[in-house]
Chain A
């Protein structure tokens, strides 16, 4: 619609208009001062002066009639709404996300002309956020595991979209970025990134009644068998009475109840306490440690009373116990390989003399020491990362009574290799023992069972063996040709979940399958290898060994020991939780597998997830992996808070294990107190305003902009007429002044 109004001539700059008006006002002011001292002809002088000044102003402004088609465009205001998990916490008037959404709705109502863009910030760039202050969108808008406001503002500043006229942050103030101790300069820099003021709205100022484990920090990386200092920060807010709080650190284990690693008492002062604990993790790999406080009466958020911390425990050195029943070339080769690796710490015990041997010397003339079977297989057992039983008969040396210990050791995460020989497997009396239950193959314990096949043979690669990453170094070293072996221990069927990598060319198991010669398997948290030959040394000493500089033997053991120790190089797949796991929310497991031959078609991947800390039904997922895909993502259902083990089975390879934790709130719930001071500082540093959520409607927002689409300017009179009128009226005013005696 066309609107009409008066205005100055279009060739005048706004400052010139204002200058003319100011000069006219000043002239009138001088005239007024002058008239106060005048007693005669004052009205005449004032009247003519007023008209002269008005005419003069009109001569400068040259009024015109402006007809224009105009529209009002509201300023673009970006609302950055906190979409992190902490917004799901309760406060007095509901949950924080409800206060957040109500505040945004109030802004929208109070400034209808403002163009609001509501974006949620959490991890990474902000994204549009659905609002539902009284609905059920809370779960959807409080999923982010972080609250990175800084990252969101930086993403806005680098965006190609229209730059906002203002930014409004709606949050509880408990942010990851900027951190709590951010300087004013940091906050100013954040505002300067957008060149607009940042207004802040706090959802609440009141801290809930809550005792929690606010932070668990470790001094350095976790190394197996090495004490690791932890600092546990405990908080107590909202008027809870908690002077002393008991703190425990336990390792969650899937082979039994959690193991207490350390405990202590935190003395709370001014609502917080810090406690130093030292834990020692014996097993390498991903280990989940629960750090928990004792329940405090009146605590409204019990979920954050425990944190589940996943440590990726490294090995300073791999500790291997090498036990051999008699010295042979195979024992020699393995020992030399173990000793040649600086990262392996070997404790070796070889049986050099049996009761039947006639040494023809007194004990003092012998360099023999007792085999400390009791010490090794009881108190020292957990200190080893792997145990190699090579050609070793359990019966004569009293190992039988410690076989249950060995079974527990494996299930608890230890590695075990049984290497063949005339005293191994069935001949060693292991059939039907607890140790046999963790080997990857069955052992025939029946009367008259055959323990070995003494016919020389060349092992065959199985399909799985050809693609297994742990044998890739061996295949690289020697190719497809395996050397002839002098004989084999008779091994039975593969146990469930085990994989045969080499098989016997002619001998079969009871089911008719080819007898495994090299097999791997997993039991509980541990892994085992069965190598049913004692001729691996010919990979080193033979014409094949000479051609390959003896690298085959080391390559074989590098793969076997590396696989036992879960070296990522030898895993059939790499598994990780994409973006972490939050209890009660669906998550995604990202799987990267080795490339497969295009002709092999799609692969079936089988994923089983079991809970560590409590009994719960396992989650079973099966999916197909396209042959040309190197990675894929498996959606997981919502899981309750706890520690989990994911076991992924890839065809042609053993199981890949991945331990992870799901927390109810994670870092976002660890400190439930709102931090309005940080929001106030941010607003102040950027020139914005700060209000609490109930006062959101009072937040000053930028005015809208008027845009003219069509404009016609018609002068009221020609310029010469304005000039003539001004001259004439100035003349009249001059005459009036002269008559009354003024200059």
Chain B
């Protein structure tokens, strides 16, 4: 009886204390959060895996301190807003139409500011062969960034250790062990994935994964999510994990976790 009578008082006291604490501003800073902005070109109306960007943000928020937009934005390559944030996510499963001059111009302005683009092939072959989207996307990026050639990036690249220590790239399909990237000014500005990363992230409203991950199942999906987290961290922290202060720790960890 006595405990029951004290309960309202305790609640009132707790409420008062809560009210007196400095108010965190949860919305403050959202503009600077990671936004896996979907890039649309030509006749594209959305990403190949519609739920993947939001899931990407959700996983990032759950696993790291990085803020992310749970409702990612969408931008067309010829819109002025293309330069409003430093990241773009371009995915597809069919050939993209040649970019218009306005789209080329928009992407060039984006890259000139140092933006990062992930090109995610949603329909690669089982061995990671580029689909029509992958081939056409590379063709169009070559028009945007003339004289820039993609190079493979593997576990030695900072993308593979920005948060998780990863040994290879994986997505919905295992694909090649490396990603490819166009490196400009020391920064990987365009990252090509032939692993359908969005396919591993896509999750339906019912909470079920939309696509099976082959051949590794849930373990491979987890590694794909980790790669997505690392790419987001690369966007936010660039080459932070290349700093000398991290080197001895990371080398020791790599040695401990075995080949």
Contact = CB atoms under 8 A, between A and B. Distances in A.
Nearest to B61: A357
Interface in B47-85: 62-67, 80-81, 83-85
A541 B66 contact: no
A454 B23 CA distance: 11
Nearest to A335: B238
B22 A357 contact: no
Nearest to B235: A332
B236 A331 contact: yes
Nearest to A330: B32
Interface in A184-228: none
Given A360-B63, A427-B24, A541-B85, A546 B33 contact: no
Contacts of A447: 20-21
B226 interface: yes
B66 A327 contact: yes
A333 B253 CA distance: 29
B230 to A, nearest CB: 8
A450 interface: yes
Contacts of A550: 112-114
A427 B23 CA distance: 7
A580 interface: no
A447 B245 CA distance: 39
B57 to A, nearest CB: 13
Interface residues of A, number: 62
Contacts of A365: 164-165, 257
Most chain B CB within a 10 A radius of its CB, from A332, A360, A450, A545? A332
B29 A339 contact: no
A537 B115 CA distance: 12
B30 A486 contact: yes
A369 B247 CA distance: 10
Interface in B181-238: 222, 226, 233, 235-238
A299 interface: no
B238 A350 contact: no
Nearest to B252: A364
A504 interface: no
Interface in A434-453: 447-453
A328 interface: yes
B165 A487 contact: no
Nearest to A361: B164
A431 B235 CA distance: 32
A182 B240 CA distance: 59
Contact of A364 (B115, B162, B222, B253): B253
Interface residues on B, range: 35 or more
A627 interface: no
A391 interface: yes
B85 A357 contact: no
Nearest to A550: B113
Contacts of B27: 454, 487
A359 interface: yes
Contacts of A499: none
B127 to A, nearest CB: 26
A367 B29 contact: no
A366 interface: yes
B240 A326 contact: no
A598 to B, nearest CB: 40
A554 B115 CA distance: 16
A328 B63 contact: no
A270 interface: no
A26 interface: no
A101 interface: no
A359 B86 CA distance: 25
A368 B245 CA distance: 11
Given A367-B164, A422-B28, A540-B114, A353 B64 contact: yes
Interface in A351-373: 351-354, 357-361, 364-369
Contacts of B83: 541-543, 545-546
B239 interface: yes
A192 B237 CA distance: 72
Contacts of A688: none
Most chain A CB within a 10 A radius of its CB, from B29, B86, B257? B29
A266 B20 CA distance: 65
Nearest to B19: A448
Nearest to B232: A327
A347 interface: yes
A331 B20 contact: no
A545 B113 contact: yes
A353 B66 CA distance: 8
A22 interface: no
A367 B250 contact: yes
A630 interface: no
B109 interface: yes
Contacts of B84: 538, 541-543
A331 B237 contact: yes
Contacts of A391: 29
Contacts of A431: 22
Most chain B CB within a 10 A radius of its CB, from A329, A349, A448, A542? A329
B233 A327 contact: yes
Given A367-B162, A422-B26, A354 B65 contact: yes
A535 B32 contact: yes
A549 interface: yes
B164 A452 contact: no
A454 B28 contact: yes
5 contacts: A336-B238, A365-B165, A369-B246, A427-B24, A543-B81
Given A352-B233, A422-B25, A541-B83, 15 more contacts: A326-B67, A347-B245, A351-B65, A353-B64, A354-B65, A359-B64, A366-B163, A366-B164, A422-B26, A452-B23, A486-B31, A486-B32, A541-B85, A546-B83, A549-B113
Across the A-B interface, give the 3 residue pairs with the lowest CB-CB distance, nearest first.
A452-B25, A486-B31, A447-B20
